[in-house]
Structure 1
Amino acid sequence: MPTFHVEMFEGRTVEQKRKFVEEVTRVTCETLGCAASAVDIVITDVKRENWATGGELWSDKQ
């Protein structure tokens, strides 16, 4: 069973997440030949203050 753990900045709507998981599931099934019921996707919303790139918090970026 493929399991995807996706971390992204908070703020996406439920509709955006719904579309995202539908498309990831569709492409996974097409590529791996598995049933949609075998695909798990875990989305973790992360605050910008809890994510840094290059030594800088995303909440500090303009």
Structure 2
Amino acid sequence: MPFAQIYLIEGRTEEQRAAVIEKVTAALVEAVGAPKENVRVWITEVPKENWGIAGVSAKALGR
């Protein structure tokens, strides 16, 4: 059973998260031949102040 864990900076819409789930599922079905019903996708949204880029938080960078 393929399991994909995706980390995103918070702020994506429900539609965007649904698109990630759909496309990651399709990619795993194609790449490893797993049945779609067996694919699991887990999205974790991380607060901007908890995401660091080059030593600075994403929030401080205005992302």
TM-score strictly above 0.5: yes
Letter in 2 for 1:7: Y
Aligned identity (percent) is: 34
Alignment of 1:21-60 (within 5 A): 21-60=21-60
Letter in 2 for 1:59: K
Partner deviation per Cα, 1:29-59 (whole Å, 9 max, x = no partner): 0111111111111101111101112211111
Give RMSD over aligned pairs.
Answer: 1.0
Q: Tell me the distance in 2 between the aligned counterparts of 1:56 and 1:9.
A: 14
| Greater helix share, structure number | 1
**TM-score of the two chains, using structure 2 as the length reference:** 0.88
Q: Which runs of 4+ in 1 moved over 6 A?
A: none
Structure 1: gaps of 5 or more residues: none
Q: Tell me the distance in 2 between the aligned counterparts of 1:26 and 1:43.
A: 16
